[in-house]
Amino acid sequence: MPPTVSTILHAQTFRRLLVVGSGDSALSAQLASEKALKPEWEVISIDFSSEVTDRMKIRFPELAFLTMDARALSFEDASFGAIVDKGLSDCIGSVTERRKYFQELRRVAVDGGRLLVLSQRHLQTEQDILDQTDEDGSDLGPSWLCKREEVYGALFVENDPTRPPFPQPGTDNTIPYFLLVCTTNEDTAEQSMT
């Protein structure tokens, strides 16, 4: 059974949570309302579409939805104790671009910060390639130490761009997803500063 977000984040002392590529999912609201995270955690959600963030501000006026490209965040360094990516990394095509994206997430994470990635793509971590010769390297780069778990869920279908995708009937627990639970690798952060 996969760990819950609250069990993954309970030990974090810096209580700001960033949801990247939030889209029109209710995930941000679910995280903000989770008893274990309330009221100490501030949840901030970003998406590159102003149309989406405008709709989400109306739907959840008590939450912060900002229009921003996750590959070039306007937040200061070390702004978040945790970051959640629910599928955004699936939309980034090349290993080089994914590595830049995950480096940007590392920049805004505090030392010891957490990253949760739910992806349909089997992202390569540094641990995956230690014994391999891979010219491209890992998707996440050396800034994150990760554990992977395979979980199963429904196939989500979007048939109206103004409404959230919905699970296709009969697909519950049939589609494989990969959950990465990562912690910042403080050794690489120190090396990159020198």
pLDDT for residue 7 is more than 90: no
| Between residues 41 and 52, the one the model is more confident about | 52
Which range marks the domain in which residue 189 is found? Answer: 5-193
pLDDT for residue 90 is more than 70: yes
Q: What sign has the CA pseudo-torsion 70, 74, 75, 76? A: positive
What is the value of pTM for the model shown? 0.85
pLDDT for residue 131 is more than 60: no
pLDDT for residue 49 is more than 70: yes
Q: How many domains does the chain have?
A: 1
DSSP string, 136-180: S--SS-TTEEEEEEEEEEPPEE-S-TTS--EEPTT-TTTEEEEEE
pLDDT for residue 44 is more than 90: yes
Any idea what the CATH number is for the domain that residue 145 is in? 3.40.50.150
* CA-based nearest residue to 84, from 66, 99, 70, 100: 70
Are the C-beta atoms of residues 143 and 102 closer than 8 Å to each other? yes
